[in-house]
Structure 1
């Protein structure tokens, strides 16, 4: 154990009822909450709001610039404080990349049980977040801290995008190819970690994936052949693909055999290391998913597995797919893969 976590301190994950993007309110419950809200006037400069559950708000400043703003925070997904901070910050910045934007700066969101963990541990969490921001080339310009029952860390992330290159989750077209930038399985790995059943190699793979910034976003946004983009986080691949299908008014079909998984994720899921969020996700949107008869409970769990700092999901014209994959490869996303297509039809998700 390093000096940042005194031996008498509890494991960070033991202080949280959930971890990472698995902490998200289930999509069905969230829809009910938002449905009860009163409508507000929306200025024409607000290019993206809450209407399609997109990754960030976008506000037009002028013909060549729009502000991208988002916030994301959660409870620990890992016990190492530096890793927790890096993962949370990377995850928050991802929403700017998912809109095709370039990050500008961040504000920190910090809630810590100061009677349970040391100031050194809290400092290490913030240092981890700072390291992710430095890698993204942005400063943490301020923030807010509170004393809370559970550890919470995240960012408000602000960026810029040319409105001409803005990519929403709602503009996929029939005939488009779907490309996923990172493998699935983070939620499964986090469940195994919490029960101390994740080996060192798998832990390293999880941290490497969740701290990898989705830097291809701006380059993909500039491609005319890229029609829609989002990142796969707490609602799982199925949930975020459905958001794209609903927003685009189209059917999405996924070739399950083509979907990349973290090594060992299937075996761990089969052994029962599945988050509660996976089941809540399925309960919220399973009626909109058509699963091939050959796919079983393990496939469903992985399809709904909540990803923390997951990969970009891109809908692009078939002729642009090669360039999209090349951009992913050039930026170090070796496991990026074509996983399906967009079809005409009522919004739903088909997985075979």
Structure 2
């Protein structure tokens, strides 16, 4: 419940908005799950909404075969500060707010290979609200924002590149990851969605010749409740990082640059 709510609210933050209310969609196999378990899921979502300062004003419930929980979130934003994912400018820097690796850790959890420390780390990052969004949108020099979710870092960078008709170059050595993620990926803890992501957009990506299969899996690792991705002028980088730090996002990092378009390449990794 906590992760689902955090993920849903993020869409408002990613456009520079302030959430004001949510509606819940709940589907539970009531003949299988106990009332206590269902109550914990609902309370998890409600606790995140309280932390975000918004009410769950209503919603809809159904009896379903599998557990379903999600929110529709509404927010407010100043029309002049709305940030979309298609307005990057050549020369911009890309700042990533959260470390990557949630998909790998989820796969490890299903294979019983994720230890207590890894689980705690995964829960911390997936339930951390992307509250810097409105403050980032108010900064001069911030041109575009999105959040990194199911299409992985590569997919959401590609959305920015396509929208701005440019090429984005990522410095792979600067990309932050959750502790232990590479080792888990090397043990085969990789989601099926990672491969599907690559099949969908790999033709637009240029990788170094020494880029390993594990690196490719991490580049396409789907995130749940991932971090904000900010495209800003070089002069705004320090201010963007300061805002992230003020809200407790200490792993935020400058990971790449928006470049003039290269034929048939939207994302270049070096």
Q: Give the TM-score normalised by structure 1.
A: 0.75
Work out the CA distance in 2 between the residues paired with 1:175 and 1:116.
54
Counterpart position of 2:209: 293
Q: 2:149, 2:25 → 1: CA distance? A: 19
Aligned to 1:176: 92
Separation of aligned partners in 2, 1:312 and 1:132: 18
- Please tell me whether residue 213 in structure 1 is matched to residue 129 in structure 2: yes
Structure 1 residue 148 displacement after superposition: 1.3
Gaps of 5+ in 1: 1-84
Q: What residue in structure 2 maps to residue 191 of structure 1?
A: 107
Distance 2:75 2:94 in 1: 25
CA drift of 1:274 comes to: 0.3
The match for 2:172 is 256
CA distance in 1, matches of 2:173, 2:5: 31
Deviations 1:109-149 (A, max 9, x none): 11111121111111110000000000000000001111111
Does 2:257 match 1:349? no
1:308 corresponds to: 224
Structure 1 stretch displaced more, 113-122 or 319-328: 113-122
Name the residue aligned to 1:243. 159
Partner of 1:202: 118
Give the secondary-structure state (helix, strand or coil) at the position aligned to 1:218.
Answer: helix
**Paired position in structure 2 for 1:269:** 185
- Where does 1:311-350 land on structure 2 (aligned, <5 Å)? 311-346=227-262, 348-350=266-268
Q: Any idea what SS the aligned residue of 1:156 has?
A: strand
Q: Is the partner of 2:5 in helix, strand or coil?
A: helix
1:1-352 matches, within 5 Å, as 85-346=1-262, 348-352=266-270
Name the CA distance, whole Å, in 1 between partners of 2:177 and 2:103: 11
Distance apart, 1:322 and its partner CA = 0.3
Whose relative contact order is higher, 1 or 2, with alpha carbons under 8 Å and at least 6 apart?
A: 2
Give 1:195 deviation, angstroms.
Answer: 1.2
341-350 vs 92-101, which deviates more? 341-350
- Structure 1: 4+ residue segments shifted above 2 A: none
Residue aligning to 1:31: none
The size of the alignment, in residue pairs, is 268
What is the alpha-carbon distance in structure 2 between the residues aligned to residue 282 and residue 150 of structure 1?
Answer: 28
Q: Partners of 1:164 and 1:237 in 2: how far apart?
A: 27
- The offset of 1:150, in angstroms, is 1.3
Q: TM-score, normalised by structure 2?
A: 0.98
SS in 2 for 1:267: helix
Query: Match for residue 37 of structure 1?
Result: none
In structure 2, runs of 5+ residues without a counterpart are: none
1:209-258 superposed Cα distances (whole Å, 9 cap, x missing partner): 00000000000111120000000000000000000100111100100010
The whole-number CA distance in structure 1 between the counterparts of 2:121 and 2:99 is 10
- Partner Cα distance (1:243, 1:150) in 2: 31
